[in-house]
Structure 1
């Protein structure tokens, strides 16, 4: 997917998770492209990807409707991903990394270090992180030597926010996103250390917790209400909003 496509996809995910696009709301290519200031092509691709992720429902005629997604549904999908990736990390640690896998993980860590070293992130930085994050996770699954894990993860990815690539980025709060993704990157360092030392139980524990970086950490690091307690976003609503038009 192109950089424009990744940007549109993550923007639409964020609009859904934040409630800016409400459950039941109808959306279409042309008005969405105009709203985001892009062509129709990346919007069309993003709509198809979001349909596969379980966030949009394709209508019989033109357009899509935002699917109602509950917090329990998202939490369950993320928990399953954490279990699968935790198992992959444990087996990779016990099996041992190949020289190529070790180099690949170290390359991801070095690229991430360079992104976060300046103390802030741009939209382009987060797009680059999307790519290196996906590669880091893929190497761990490969290193497990267990193809059943990859197959199970592919099935789970059809659930909302279950995919490692399903990052919802708040471009209106890049300071908070810096904290969130920098923390997630530090977890990458920790899991690599466990993998490199052959510490299976530790690697599994870190990866299971790391799954929370997808959504849970977004509320911890990016939203703090007046009372100082982490905000809880309600994902999905039965309230109908006006359509974003039709193409």
Structure 2
């Protein structure tokens, strides 16, 4: 086997191990605080030790695992406060991204691409409530947010945003499914879409502070969705990575 093929195979095995391990963590098959050993995962995932070791390191970088003093890793648990702060961090970084985009000046093609994406979102939310395809909305919403980040033209900021959004409950579309059970679904999506339009207009007008303020407020929709989910287990089950959240006892 050539060195290139061996390298490709090793990378493929690492990605396989990373995806499989992430899935175990997110669905609660590994409990918060549980120690995760290399040998245990080698047997469970059916890959060799090197890809497993790399996968463990990458999930620590994503924030889903944490190193323990005795060696190895354990599944990270998140308090409700940490989850809210994670969403706030993502919103703050996105606010910085759109401010940079506005101040530096986004290209005409990027602005057009963003506007076309918003037109597609309009087509989704103009349907009757029972006909709204949330999976399509989530895909388009994530695309729009990526376009905004690309407009900032800042690789360091993009890396930090990728890290912040790696936590499953903190990404831009993570809590959208919770809205599916709300009688105010159409209203919430309409408000979010209006904020999308406003932030794009602010970027085009090179109003950096306004764009940043709108984007940070936009993240507050996720806060409200999380507050709703924390009071209802059926809604909480829709939150990605909910098994990692330590919920406080409510009176």
TM over 0.5: yes
Match of 2:169 among 158, 161, 169: 161
Higher relative contact order (CA 8 A, sep 6+): 1
Contact conserved, 1:89 with 1:141, CA < 8 A, in 2? yes
Name the counterpart of 2:86: 77
Deviations 1:6-29 (A, max 9, x none): xxxxxxx8x99xxxx9x76x9xxx
Contact conserved, 2:199 with 2:215, CA < 8 A, in 1? yes
Counterpart Cα distance in 1 of 2:180 and 2:211: 33
Task: Indicate the structure with greater helix content.
Answer: 2
Does residue 218 in structure 1 map to residue 225 in structure 2? yes
Partner secondary structure for residue 167 of structure 2: coil
| Bigger Rg over Cα | 2
132-141 or 150-159: bigger deviation: 150-159
Match of 2:123 among 114, 122, 125: 114
Contact conserved, 1:70 with 1:236, CA < 8 A, in 2? yes
Contact conserved, 1:86 with 1:205, CA < 8 A, in 2? yes
Contact conserved, 1:105 with 1:136, CA < 8 A, in 2? yes
> Relative to 1, partners in 2 of residues 1:238 and 1:99: Cα closer, same or farther, differing over 3 Å?
closer
Deviations 1:18-75 (A, max 9, x none): xxx9x76x9xxxxxxxxxxxxxxxxxxxxx9xx7876799xxxxxxx99643221111
Q: How many residues align?
A: 185
66-75 or 104-113: bigger deviation: 66-75
- Structure 1 regions of 5+ residues with no counterpart? 1-12, 27-47, 58-64, 226-234, 240-247
Name the counterpart of 2:205: 197
Q: Per-residue deviation at 1:171?
A: 7.2
Contact conserved, 2:80 with 2:248, CA < 8 A, in 1? no
Match of 2:160 among 130, 133, 152: 152
The Cα RMSD (Å) is 3.9
> What TM-score results when the alignment is normalised by the length of structure 1?
0.60
> What TM-score results when the alignment is normalised by the length of structure 2?
0.59
> Relative to 1, partners in 2 of residues 1:174 and 1:90: Cα closer, same or farther, differing over 3 Å?
same
> Relative to 1, partners in 2 of residues 1:238 and 1:173: Cα closer, same or farther, differing over 3 Å?
closer
Q: Per-residue deviation at 1:147?
A: 1.1
Contact conserved, 1:179 with 1:221, CA < 8 A, in 2? no
